[in-house]
Amino acid sequence: MSTPPPPVRSGLPAVGTGTRSLDLRYLERPPAEHQRPYFPFVADHLRGVLDRPDASVLDIGCANGAFLHHVAGRYPHARLSGVEALPALVEHAARHVPGADFSVGDVGRAGTLPGRRYSAVTMLTLHSHFDSLDPWLDHVLDLVEPGGRALLFGAFNPFPVDVLVRLRQADGAEDGGWMPGWNIHSRAAFTDRLTARGLRHRFHDYEPPADVPRSPDDPLSTRRATLDGAIVLTNGAGVLLPFALLEVSV
């Protein structure tokens, strides 16, 4: 008999500057079958901080809970929590990742986030949804307990240029609206903010595998490209996505 999932705290409406109806596609993807190629890369950098018996991790923007499902297999003793802005995804994640705690919350609004701190806080491919580092970056860091880490994975421009991007699919998908989600903030912008807080941090370069899964029918599906000799990702918009992992020690 399977263990029922813990109760879902979903008293909030869908919130979040980066909320997109496009993200509801994760409702069709069970976490066990939706393991992204970068999950092991991020999980490897949780070693040490999650090796402790009392370790805990919060995944912000957890979508269908797929990354927490992966972490559960690597660190079965860790207490797992996820925050997501779309209530439907929170309900979906709670059904498919038993033992984890999920709640509705917006990283841009501190009052909607959990009232405790964690050994590790992760946020994967979400920071590109926001046009500014304010106020969400401070909210992420404030959720990490002393001695813990924040891990942000996604596109970081290696050049000191911040880029804001909006996409619209010409075939009328997504109601023809302009979508956020592909901004490329510079590493320099993060370095300035973290240095001002006196926090040690490091960028880990990520090279996507040769067999990046993609859908030929989805123009927003990623594929490999090159940037200054490095392998990066791109999509049908022609935007280069230099993915990396930002590791912050708190």
pLDDT value of position 205: 95
Integer distance in angstroms from the first to the last C-alpha of the chain? 41
Q: Evaluate whether residue 198 is within a structural domain.
A: yes
In this prediction, residue 7 has a pLDDT band, given cuts at 50, 70 and 90, of very low
Lowest mean pLDDT among 4-13, 39-48, 98-107, 130-139: 4-13
Decide if 115 is inside a domain: yes
Q: Is 13 inside a domain boundary?
A: no
pLDDT at 109: 95
Answer whether residue 14 is part of any domain: no
Q: Is residue 184 part of a domain?
A: yes
Residue 69 lies in a domain: yes
For 184-248, the DSSP string reads: B-BHHHHHHHHHHTT-EEEEEE----TT----TT-TTS-EEEEETTEEEEE-TT---B-EEEEEE
Least confident of 49-63, 67-81, 189-203, 229-243: 229-243
What pLDDT score does 227 carry? 83
Tokens 């959990």, residue?
A: 114
CATH number at residue 153: 3.40.50.150
Whether the CB-CB separation of 103 and 90 falls below 8 Å is answered with: yes
Question: What is the domain count for the chain?
Answer: 1
Strand partners, 35: none
Residue 222 lies in a domain: yes
Domain that includes residue 204, residue range: 21-249
pTM above 0.95, yes or no: no
DSSP 131-183: SSSTTHHHHHHHTEEEEEEEEEEEE-BSSS--B---B--TT-GGGG--B----
Residue 10 lies in a domain: no
Banded pLDDT at 222 (limits 50, 70, 90): confident
Between 206 and 4, whose confidence is greater?
206
